[in-house]
Structure 1
């Protein structure tokens, strides 16, 4: 259903228009007035789309059920069989219960997943979010002693329980509800197991990284000690970094130009500004800032690497398959720099030095010809 329903509407404008007319006919009130939600296409590589596909189908369940019933009767001869199969799936209350159960569950997973794909997320906050997510899932199916709860005490969700009570009057569903709940419980057990596998073993490392945040460094209450900071082997000079750590607390940073717009909450932006700060031609906190920035490069996910692979696939296509490694690297550097700095290519300011370098000497074949001509001159000199 997740694959076939979006595929049905993806390449046919006429089908989308027919569904729009049916939707407006069935929803004449103001509660759901307007154009129906779009049906996103399911993808195995786009991690944050599955929940949207589930939700869109669930909120349009009755309209889709009526649409495919009409399509199975009045549609073209070659699509009636497929439309009838989809209509029968929408008529099955078991499928509806599975959608009701899994939609909020998958949406919550995608929310946590999106946090780990952010560029400037705090490692400690991500660890806390993942830990809370694991505990909330665990308590839905396990008791305080760690034993699996019976089906009647398992937390399947309020809406799922309401729909089960509504369908109890049906003779066909009364005998199937237990098997449906059993499958839903097995899904929860598997989810708990998968999240537990992703909890980091060295939890103290991410807690120590939070000690480098501006809130902890510039506070006099419960300020971390210097020996509690992570990765001491990254410090260029232990004594120098320790002395700078003592003094940075008492510096009036609110009056400095590097923090004219306020002290940032992001640790990377904070320490980058500290590294640029100069006083009397010297940088009094450069060693400490270099250490903090090196420690904060600890990756919390591989989302950034995955994005680089996506950029490579978008740049080096089948049409541009002869692109050399140097050109590909240059394009990737430009794209990632623009993304990380929050800028757009249309805002690029061309400098005079750029224009001077924009000549025929920028091409590889020109430099190779110059080298070849110099070699030929040398050979000719030998025979003179």
Structure 2
């Protein structure tokens, strides 16, 4: 998913919708005064309220896509959370068009193989949002025309879901395990065991017993607050042997294992 592309589309859509009436008047005058095919095409587009309805809905959907894309583009992105955020976005998009009784049974891990096209909500039951509803009520459109716009909106979401699904990595379950390595999780005294990740890489960890011992001990050290807000910085601190105020415990096995995998 190209973050710059989606951000540019959302910004362009915001600009168009915010200036819709002014642009409509501009191209109406241009179509009348100039012999320009482009001006006539744009005039027809801005005169059709169906296009504005469609763009209002697409903007609503793109906000979620851009939010997650910005997380991936961030310089200090937390790699332990990105996969979960991507799948959460994927599920949020599904909630727009998929029947809740089927989607509610899916875990994040199972979304990769979920056949959402088999469980789409009927058009009459889809929630299109406040802006769309208000604009539709004011637009000089009949029920057939509004239904057509709604069908276009649902198709946009379905197409977007397909594009996202194609880009989800095959090792999604392994990547989801990475959230256990988040600094706050790793330093918690009440945390899940690291068995899932450990077993995944058991043939490459030098000393599994030592790794598990150090993992369990992480929560009993006093770590600098400055490193806890960033998982990469935290594990760099761990590898540097800066545990606690005295550096009394060595976590080289755990830190090296995490850094390598």
Measured against the shorter chain, the TM-score band is: 0.7 to 0.9
| TM-score, normalised relative to structure 2 | 0.75
Q: Report 1:1-384 matches (<5 A).
A: 46-73=5-32, 80-143=36-99, 144-145=101-102, 147-167=119-139, 170=140, 173-221=142-190, 223-230=191-198, 231-253=201-223, 259=224, 262-277=226-241, 284-295=250-261
Structure 1: runs of 5+ lacking an equivalent = 1-42, 254-258, 296-384
Shift of 1:70: 3.1
Structure 1 211/135 Cα, relative in aligned 2: closer, same or farther at 3 Å? Answer: closer
Structure 1 217/89 Cα, relative in aligned 2: closer, same or farther at 3 Å? Answer: closer
Which of the two has greater helix per residue? 2
Shift of 1:226: 4.7
CA distance in 2, matches of 1:121, 1:109: 16
Aligned residues: 240
CA distance in 1, matches of 2:3, 2:217: 52
Shift of 1:50: 0.8
Root-mean-square deviation (CA, aligned residues, Å) is 3.2
CA distance in 1, matches of 2:251, 2:122: 59
Alpha carbons 2:183, 2:230 under 8 Å: kept: yes
Structure 2: runs of 5+ lacking an equivalent = 103-117
| TM-score, normalised relative to structure 1 | 0.54
CA distance in 1, matches of 2:10, 2:76: 24
Structure 1 121/245 Cα, relative in aligned 2: closer, same or farther at 3 Å? Answer: same
Structure 1 60/278 Cα, relative in aligned 2: closer, same or farther at 3 Å? Answer: closer
Q: Using CA pairs below 8 Å that are at least 6 residues apart, which structure has the higher relative contact order?
A: 2
CA distance in 2, matches of 1:262, 1:139: 38
3-state SS, counterpart of residue 290 of structure 1: helix
3-state SS, counterpart of residue 7 of structure 2: coil
Alpha carbons 1:234, 1:294 under 8 Å: kept: no
- Which is higher, the Rg of structure 1 or of structure 2? 1
CA distance in 2, matches of 1:147, 1:251: 49
CA distance in 2, matches of 1:61, 1:116: 32
Alpha carbons 1:124, 1:209 under 8 Å: kept: yes
CA distance in 1, matches of 2:82, 2:161: 17
Shift of 1:278: 6.4
